[in-house]
Copies of this chain bind each other. A is one copy, B any other.
């Protein structure tokens, strides 16, 4: 599950040319994403974007807070933006989902 997810995230990155310093928060435990954030900072990133939508928004906030309080004391919250996206359901109807983007900076 973790590996499958990982692969599809990487495929996504390659397809859309998303820069590497974005962490998409999904349904895995928060610590998986904290590890991704910490790794990117340790690899020299000056800032990391944590993105999530729908129910995983709470987890994205946990990821930001755990990263900054427990592992990266020199990192601060640079910006937080919320927005809405329209999703097409399987039956063709559309529904709106909230999104969040938290930028952490060193």
Contacts and interface: CB of A to CB of B under 8 A. Distances in A.
Interface of A: 54-58, 61-62, 64-65, 69, 77, 80-84, 96, 98, 100, 102
A35 B48 CA distance: 35
Given A56-B58, A58-B55, A58-B57, A83 B98 contact: no
A23 to B, nearest CB: 15
State the copy count for this chain: 2
A99 to B, nearest CB: 8
A77 B82 contact: yes
Contact of A69 (B77, B81, B84): B84
21 contacts: A54-B58, A55-B58, A56-B58, A57-B57, A57-B58, A57-B61, A58-B58, A58-B98, A62-B98, A64-B82, A64-B98, A65-B82, A65-B83, A65-B84, A65-B96, A65-B98, A77-B82, A80-B80, A80-B81, A80-B82, A82-B102
Contacts of A54: 58
A50 to B, nearest CB: 10
